[in-house]
Amino acid sequence: MRAFEISEFGTTPKLVTKETPEPQPGEVQVAIKACGLNHADLLMIEGRYQEKPPLPITLGMEIAGTITKLGANVDGLSVGDRVAAVPGSGGLADMACISAERCVPLPDSITDVEAAAFQIAYGTSHLALSHRADLRKGETLLVLGAAGGVGLTAVELGARLGARVIACARGADKLEVAKAAGAHDVLDSDAPDLRDRLKAMGGVDVVYDAVGDPLFTSSMKACKPGARILVIGFAAGQVPQIPANYLLVKNITVHGLYWGGYLGFDPKALTTSLSDLLNMHTAGDLHPHVSHTLALENAAEGLALLRDRKSTGKVVIVP
């Protein structure tokens, strides 16, 4: 089979040919139909991601595909089932062996490409907004990086939850994408005086930040008393240094949200969230946005789109 992998951290990934793996007890072998790319794939290449599988690493964190073999002691799944999964790595390949516990059967209403674009992005925003920030109807939600993979889902879900959504992204084209996803107001992230513009709009109750500084600091200073800030990631490359005295004076709460971490301490929260999201999709309430669908041999191009921030929504690789 083919696999897109790195042999050392900091090196350029390559498409290689290797033996097709056989499922171990508790695993299923999956023919991968689609794999969603994430900013975390870029961090894994550099060795800066919080999880480091043993080298060599086949990249690709979330997949959709069809089960082709069952390992021993697997119940509730069958050969031929369509499933989605977040194995954490191994998705940019023709085949993968994945823990059966991580596989979710897919309804006919969702395509493989949609499912591969769905799990981490929507799961992150759903847990962040509903579970962590307790976003309420009528509140003002600011989404930074609003046209990106997770940001766009935050816009869509925030609007569905009844919030007034302010989308912040770079350039008119991306702001139009955010508007189409449900944003009520849009701001260009390259324009000056973000703090003053947000204050003039009445301030912010919840900040959803997948970008990092300097936008984090400007947004924090536009928060209303009692606001909640969601730290999702640092796509801009700068980790904010948060002045605790500012949090104290304005009674601001900062929540970190690492979606994959829930697999270790509260997996039920993930499965419940994903079930709710799939029901929303089946009802026609969610619309995954995929700006680029590329072949496996073009996976490097897909990663470059993420690195250069030239995509909107998700980039999906289709082996």
The candidate with the shortest Cα–Cα distance to 303, out of 94, 39, 17, is 39
Residue 51 has pLDDT above 90, yes or no: no
Residue 238 binned pLDDT confidence (cut-offs 50, 70, 90) = confident
Q: Label the pairing between strands 140-144 and 204-209.
A: parallel
Residue 306 C-alpha from the chain's centroid: 12
Question: Which H/E stretch holds residue 14?
Answer: strand 14-17
Which SS3 state, helix, strand or coil, does residue 204 take? Answer: strand
The pTM score is 0.89
Structure tokens at 317: 């690789």
Residue 236 has pLDDT above 90, yes or no: no
Domains along the sequence of the chain with CATH: 2-106+289-318 (3.90.180.10), 122-260 (3.40.50.720)
**What crossing angle do the helices spanning 39-46 and 299-307 adopt, rounded to 10°?**
100
Q: Determine the Cα–Cα distance for residues 130 and 114; give it in Å rounded to an integer.
A: 22
Q: What is the per-residue pLDDT for 26?
A: 96
Q: Determine the Cα–Cα distance for residues 7 and 56; give it in Å rounded to an integer.
A: 4
Residue 250 binned pLDDT confidence (cut-offs 50, 70, 90) = very high
Residue 179 C-alpha from the chain's centroid: 19
- Over residues 102-120, the mean pLDDT reads 93
Q: Determine the Cα–Cα distance for residues 313 and 151; give it in Å rounded to an integer.
A: 8
Q: What is the per-residue pLDDT for 260?
A: 86
Q: What is the per-residue pLDDT for 270?
A: 85
What are 198-219's pLDDT values in tens digits? 999 999 999 999 999 999 999 9
Helix-strand-coil split of the chain, %, nearest 5:
35, 30, 40
Residue 52 binned pLDDT confidence (cut-offs 50, 70, 90) = confident
Residue 247 has pLDDT above 90, yes or no: yes
Q: For the chain, what is the radius of gyration of the CA atoms?
A: 20
CB 215 within 8 A of CB 229: no
Residue 155 has pLDDT above 90, yes or no: yes
Residue 50 binned pLDDT confidence (cut-offs 50, 70, 90) = confident
The residue type of 112 is D
Q: What is the per-residue pLDDT for 221?
A: 95
Residue 113 has pLDDT above 90, yes or no: yes
Give me the DSSP letters along 235-296: TTS------HHHHHHHT-EEEE--GGGHHHH-HHHHHHHHHHHHHHHHTT-----EEEEEEG
Min mean pLDDT across 33-42, 169-178, 265-274 is at 265-274
Residue 268 binned pLDDT confidence (cut-offs 50, 70, 90) = confident
Residue 153 has pLDDT above 90, yes or no: yes
Question: DSSP assignment, residue 60?
Answer: -
What are 156-215's pLDDT values in tens digits? 999 999 999 999 999 999 999 999 999 999 999 988 889 999 999 999 999 999 999 999
Q: What is the per-residue pLDDT for 264?
A: 83
